[in-house]
């Protein structure tokens, strides 16, 4: 069995790319012949990914790729690439075995999107999106959750109850979809004190976020962080308040590190977070502000309850081994 994972660019850091890397490494460990293909050359991919992808396992997608006999299972993780390959297969009679992995909800380009017969959705919410927006029959869609290697040992490094300042980690690309700018504006209008929101990530709105934060000590803008483990270990809560999501890796990481979560009901968030069980679900800025204000009232017992439940959720649903077993069975 040969597998090629397809994604346009590995020059930037993102959730889909991270999951492709996890699948690539996991399949190699299981002695599956696996490669990664992208539109950029190997020399241009992010240094973090170069440490994990062997040069001999990376293919630059160009015309020569289609001239070679290809008996691999092509797993495309990008809607435009999938549509292109499906068009080739249908209208130019290329015999390709294609699986599409849908990582997010989409509502645009409905009539320019073409899916193969086999589709993997990363959450039930993404499956519903495929059915309702793109009219995909549910029999064609399988849900396989993203998975990560389980962190061993005690991940609750900070003692929440002893800290005067509550630290919230916001790990996401700095874009309008992730709403960091709107969040800062809303908190600046409030009277909230004794918090520190740490933004980790890069993106098109990075400079705007730095300028907006200014000298307000309630916020820290760190940019792209190489060692995110330390950031998760040293926070009290993980926060995400996006316009849309698929199944955010950052919230899975939060569960892996036994951290309670604060998020809104978008994408597959509620498949990770249960309100008042391993975090809090809020759907407006006013309720978000109120929830942050009330964090100081949480007791040590309540905080430990939320933390322990986060790890339980991870072990039950989001372990890498579970994901790899399901992908391996699916591809076979």
Q: pLDDT by residue (tens digit) across 195-208?
A: 999 999 999 999 99
How far, in Å, CA of 10 to CA of 24, rounded? 14
Sign of the torsion angle spanned by Cα atoms 2, 330, 38, 47 = negative
- Cβ atoms 332, 1 nearer than 8 A: yes
| Digit-coded pLDDT (tens) for 166-186 | 999 999 999 999 999 999 999
Please classify residue 107 by burial: count the beta carbons closer than 10 Å to its beta carbon, then call 0-12 exposed, 13-18 middle and 19+ buried.
exposed
Q: Which two tokens stand for residue 149?
A: 């290697």
pLDDT band at 92 (very low <50, low <70, confident <90, very high): low
Q: Does residue 156 carry a pLDDT above 60?
A: no
What is the pTM for the complete model shown?
0.91
The 3-state DSSP composition of the chain as helix, strand, coil percent (nearest 5) reads 40, 20, 40
**Ordered structural domains, the chain, with CATH:** 2-148+319-331 (3.40.50.2000), 160-317 (3.40.50.2000)
* Residue range 254-274, pLDDT digits in tens: 999 999 999 999 999 999 999
């Amino acid at each position: 069995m040969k597998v090629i994972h397809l994604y346009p660019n590995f020059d930037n850091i993102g959730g889909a790319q991270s999951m492709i890397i996890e699948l690539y490494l996991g399949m190699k460990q299981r002695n599956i012949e696996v490669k990664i293909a992208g539109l950029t050359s190997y020399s241009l991919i992010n240094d973090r990914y170069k440490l994990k992808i062997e040069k001999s396992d990376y293919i630059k997608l160009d015309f020569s790729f289609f001239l070679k006999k290809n008996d691999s299972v092509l797993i495309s993780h990008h809607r435009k690439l999938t549509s292109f390959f499906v068009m080739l297969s249908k209208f130019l009679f290329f015999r390709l075995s294609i699986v599409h992995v849908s990582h997010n909800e989409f509502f645009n380009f409905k009539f320019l999107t073409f899916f193969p017969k086999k589709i993997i959705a990363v959450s039930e919410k993404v499956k519903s999106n495929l059915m309702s927006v793109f009219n995909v029959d549910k029999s064609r869609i399988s849900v396989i959750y993203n998975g990560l290697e389980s962190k061993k040992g005690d991940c609750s490094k900070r003692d929440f109850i002893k800290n005067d300042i509550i630290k919230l980690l916001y790990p996401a690309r700095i874009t309008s979809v992730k709403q960091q700018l709107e969040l800062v504006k809303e908190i600046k209008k409030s009277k909230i004190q004794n918090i520190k929101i740490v933004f980790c990530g890069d993106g098109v709105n990075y400079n705007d976020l730095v300028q907006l934060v200014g000298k307000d000590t309630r916020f820290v803008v760190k940019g792209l962080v190489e060692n995110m483990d330390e950031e998760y270990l040293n926070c009290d809560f993980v926060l995400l308040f996006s316009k849309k999501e698929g199944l955010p890796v950052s919230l899975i990481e939060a569960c892996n590190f036994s951290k309670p979560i604060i998020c809104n009901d978008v994408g597959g968030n509620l498949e990770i977070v249960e309100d008042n069980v391993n975090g809090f679900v809020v759907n407006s800025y006013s309720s978000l502000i109120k929830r942050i204000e009330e964090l100081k009232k949480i007791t040590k017992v309540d905080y430990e309850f939320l933390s322990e439940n986060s790890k339980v959720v991870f072990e039950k649903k989001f372990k890498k081994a579970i994901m790899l077993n399901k992908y391996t069975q699916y591809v076979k």
